[in-house]
Amino acid sequence: MRRPLPVALPTSVLACLLSGLLGCQRQPAPAPGPPPGPPAPKATVVKVYFADPQTALLRPVERTVQGQNLAEGALKALLAGPQPDEKLDLPLPKGTTLLGVSVDNGLATVDLSKEYQEGFPQGGAAQTLALYALVNTLTDLPGVRAVHILIEGKPVETLGELSVAEPITRSEDFVVR
């Protein structure tokens, strides 16, 4: 003896067939777009130190730098010099370029081109400003307590009359207050 099919079963089969015919099937996955690029570089405000000709001292100026390496960004901003409307001077010798910078355990090691040493001022406040523009720019960054200077990858003993054989720490003595 055959059992009668429940009324619900043929109705549900019919509903499934109709839904397939009327477009209720699976939708194709959207076409992939371009892959996401690297995240935008992080913008950070740093202070760089330029010479103020009115006071013969360093004056901090804010610059926005991009990227992860704040020390490199800050030094590149310093080497780019002041804006004309700031009426400040770049105390570093002309032609100085950054060859590299790294920070380890609070010590920033900066490698500069030979132009920094060859054009270094010979006496007076200009020497101090040329050194501390660099040192104070770097020690203003989080985690940097001292700066060691290399020229073309080699340590130097002196710049002008200033000893730089040991790491140099920040000095506010040469900054406008």
Distance CA 152, CA 114 (A): 6
**Would you tell me how many other CB atoms lie within 10 Å of the CB of residue 125?**
13
Average model confidence (pLDDT) across the chain:
85
Contact in structure between 92 and 159 (CB atoms under 8 Å): no
What is the secondary structure of 49-108 as a DSSP string?
EEEETTTTEEEEEEEEEESS-HHHHHHHHHHH---GGG--B--SPTT--EEEEEEETTEE
Backbone conformation region of residue 153, classed left if phi is above 0, alpha if psi is from -120 to 50, else beta: left
Q: What is the CA radius of gyration of the chain?
A: 32
Distance CA 58, CA 51 (A): 5
Stretch (H or E) spanning 52: strand 43-52
Give the pairing type, strands 98-104 and 107-112. Answer: antiparallel
Q: What is the pTM of this model?
A: 0.77
Judge whether residue 40 has pLDDT over 90. Answer: no
Work out the average pLDDT over 57-80.
96
**Would you tell me how many other CB atoms lie within 10 Å of the CB of residue 40?**
7
Q: What is the pLDDT of residues 119-139, one digit of tens each?
A: 999 878 899 999 999 999 999
SS3 64: strand
Contact in structure between 72 and 36 (CB atoms under 8 Å): no
Q: Among 2-6, 62-66, 156-160, which stretch is predicted with the lowest mean pLDDT?
A: 2-6
Q: What is the pLDDT of residues 127-171, one digit of tens each?
A: 999 999 999 999 999 999 999 999 999 999 999 999 999 999 999
Judge whether residue 41 has pLDDT over 80. Answer: no
**Domain residue ranges of the chain, discontinuous segments joined by +:** 43-169
What is the secondary structure of 100-131 as a DSSP string?
EEEEETTEEEEEE-HHHHHT---SHHHHHHHH
Q: What is the pLDDT of residues 7-37, one digit of tens each?
A: 444 444 444 444 454 444 555 555 555 555 5
Contacts 24+ apart (CB under 8 A), 4-8: none
